[in-house]
Chains A and B, each alone.
Chain A
Amino acid sequence: MSDSSRVRSGSTLEIRDLQVAVEDKQILRGVNLTVKAGETHAIMGPNGSGKSTLAYAIAGHPKYTITGGQVLLDGVDLLELSVDERARAGLFLAMQYPVEVPGVSVSNFLRSAVTAVNGEAPKLRQFAKDLKAGMDALSIDAAFAQRNLNEGFSGGEKKRHEILQLELLKPKIAVLDETDSGLDVDALRVVSEGINRFRASGETGVLLITHYTRILRYVKPDFVHVFAAGRVVEEGGPELADKLEAEGYEAYTKASA
């Protein structure tokens, strides 16, 4: 476990009694969770337990209706902010299924995003350098920058591209939604290394949402939360992941049914 007890000036994400509905269906039923800088929290749970809803509701996807609670980033309620304001406040969501945007090139998109988050346009030379370094570290081909955003990307390319953005945008808190899904072992390792570089500073918090324990062998969590039926039903350290690996989610799905 990292030294989360150390006094630091890093950021904190506090999710308080969060309740979320999609159309008329209540999905999240009071989620409480605090992620501090330097900590990595894994959220695990069966399909349909509301893990992704948590991620998208925090980011502000219009499909999700907040019916109660707060999400505070360093005391600021993110739920009061627009989607882009949340991102500029320091929140990042790596998506499970990044959408294809025709006609918008990766390099143009990344430059626009970096400009928006930093509040000023990056120096072109520096940006090109950072971009190349980021792409090299994730084994992304240079030609990638000229392609249209996520268009025709393989599953692995999409996930690498999400992590490239994570490294370029340097958020305070990163929510990673099933970043491990659809990756072969090599891609999983490359992506995990990117996440580890991002959290190495100790100044950022990570909320890692996953169905499987596989990625946790590469990205060691400090805390593990088990999600079922829209709330956290069990919490523990990394050993909880090992238990889930051995026993599966059956005990939780039965209990909540």
Chain B
Amino acid sequence: MGLETKPLSSLHAKSSYDPADFEVPTGREEEWRFTPLSRLKGLHDGTAAASGNVLVTVDAAPEAVVETAGRGDARIGAAYVPADRVSAQAYASFEKATVVTFPREAVASEPTVITFTGSGEGAAFGHTVVVLEPMAEAVVVLEHTGSAVYADNVEFVVGDGATLKVVSLQDWADDAVHVSHHHARLGRDATFRSFAVTLGGDLVRLSPSVAYTAPGGDADLTGLYFADAGQHLEHRLLVDHSQPNCKSNVVYKGALQGEGAHAVWIGDVIIRVEAEGTDTYELNRNLLLTDGARADSVPNLEILTGEVAGAGHASASGRLDDEHIFYLQARGIPFDEARRLVIRGFFAQLLEKIELPELRERVFARVEAELER
């Protein structure tokens, strides 16, 4: 398939299913300059042999239809065209895709959990499609564990009036490499809620994107990450407002501790000429807990129409506030616990957004465990 370009915007101009349409990244490109390419284990230059295995299992709600589809299935790649070389490589290399469909007006009675379990050496490629037909409602949990070198694409097709809530938990083993695109395509009056939690892995580069096919779409993207010594955790968001009267809200917060802990957050929002009445906001905050950690945070807001309902962004990276710690310590609370309370507080408002109590507790427990390290 040939190259498609979107000349209206300077952002994300390129997309193709064929990795050959993308130059092998050198690290000088804007979209790759933060990523340590040498740690990608060949995912970016075609040298990663697909000799690994990531086991995909689905524990589905009774209302869901779960299928394993071959490469020729028309639903694959229907909503998303890969936007970079690794994404295209994943698209060109996966063997079987997982397709989960929630039929028209189905209201899922329980969450659908898709588990991705890596089992060691060698690269693996995957593709997942989650389809909500019009007026359907579902909660989908993507859980990534184990050791892997994994590149994949996930398509969320949210039909007219449908509501999809996704929690994606990147809880990989210390040596894992994961490069992933999550693309949501929202129909008329569709609602999409995404919560990404990235804790584990040597290198995780997750690129969530949202597109709208009709007015009234509402996307809320939340993220939480905790980078330890040596970890590279990168989140690259793109919300492409090409339809009138849609909403988007992006809030990502991360904590970093230890030598070489590196977090990257890119928040791109495009409001195209036809997207009048858009209401968008994006925010990234980083808490640097030690020396030697680094956070790069780059919000980009490109507005091509004068008729927006709201458009804003904010980004801040800083250390724990001495005044917070002093106040708690002045009430007898020891330093370590004061620090824990403040960091917990930093994430608390995000965690409250996870509506499933069990899942919220689990994520909370994992964050606590990170703090103990």
Contact = CB atoms under 8 A, between A and B. Distances in A.
A116 B323 contact: no
Contacts of B324: 99, 101
A102 interface: yes
A84 B329 CA distance: 4
Given A61-B326, A83-B326, A104 B342 contact: yes
A84 B335 contact: yes
Contacts of A165: 331
Contacts, number: 83
B332 A87 contact: yes
B329 A87 contact: yes
B220 to A, nearest CB: 19
B330 A109 contact: no
A62 B320 CA distance: 14
A148 interface: yes
A104 B326 contact: no
Given A101-B342, A108-B341, A84 B333 contact: yes
Contact of B333 (A61, A95, A116): A116
Nearest to B336: A84
Interface residues of B, number: 24
Contact of A62 (B322, B333, B337): B322
A92 B327 CA distance: 11
B342 A59 contact: no
B322 A102 contact: no
B349 A103 contact: yes
A109 B329 CA distance: 11
B341 A104 contact: yes
A169 B327 contact: no
B252 to A, nearest CB: 16
Interface in A16-59: 59
B224 to A, nearest CB: 12
Given A84-B338, A112-B337, A98 B327 contact: yes
Interface string A55-94: 0000111100000000000000000001110111000110
A51 to B, nearest CB: 17
A159 B109 CA distance: 48
A62 B337 CA distance: 18
A113 interface: yes
Interface residues on A, range: 20 to 34
A117 interface: yes
B328 interface: yes
A87 B331 contact: yes
A82 B327 contact: no
A113 B326 contact: no
Given A102-B345, A102-B349, A103-B347, A95 B327 contact: yes
A108 B341 CA distance: 9
Contacts of A61: 326
A112 B328 CA distance: 9
Contact of B332 (A102, A103, A117): A117
A169 B331 contact: yes
Residue among A59, A60, A104, A149 with max Cβ neighbours from chain B (10 Å): A104
B341 A113 contact: no
B62 interface: no
Interface string A91-134: 01101001101111000110011001100000000000000000
A169 B338 CA distance: 17
A84 B334 contact: yes
A62 B323 CA distance: 9
A116 B331 contact: yes
B143 to A, nearest CB: 25
B366 interface: no
B345 A83 contact: no
B346 interface: yes
Contacts of A87: 329-332
15 contacts: A62-B322, A82-B329, A82-B335, A84-B331, A84-B333, A86-B330, A95-B327, A95-B330, A99-B324, A101-B328, A102-B345, A103-B345, A103-B348, A109-B331, A116-B334
Question: What are the 3 tightest A-B residue pairs by CB atom distance, in nearest-first order?
Answer: A103-B345, A103-B348, A116-B332
Interface of B: 321-324, 326-335, 337-338, 341-342, 344-349
Interface of A: 59-62, 82-84, 86-88, 92-93, 95, 98-99, 101-104, 108-109, 112-113, 116-117, 148-149, 165, 169
Given A84-B335, A116-B332, 18 more contacts: A60-B329, A61-B326, A62-B326, A82-B335, A84-B332, A84-B333, A84-B334, A87-B330, A98-B327, A99-B327, A103-B344, A109-B341, A112-B341, A113-B328, A117-B332, A149-B327, A165-B331, A169-B331
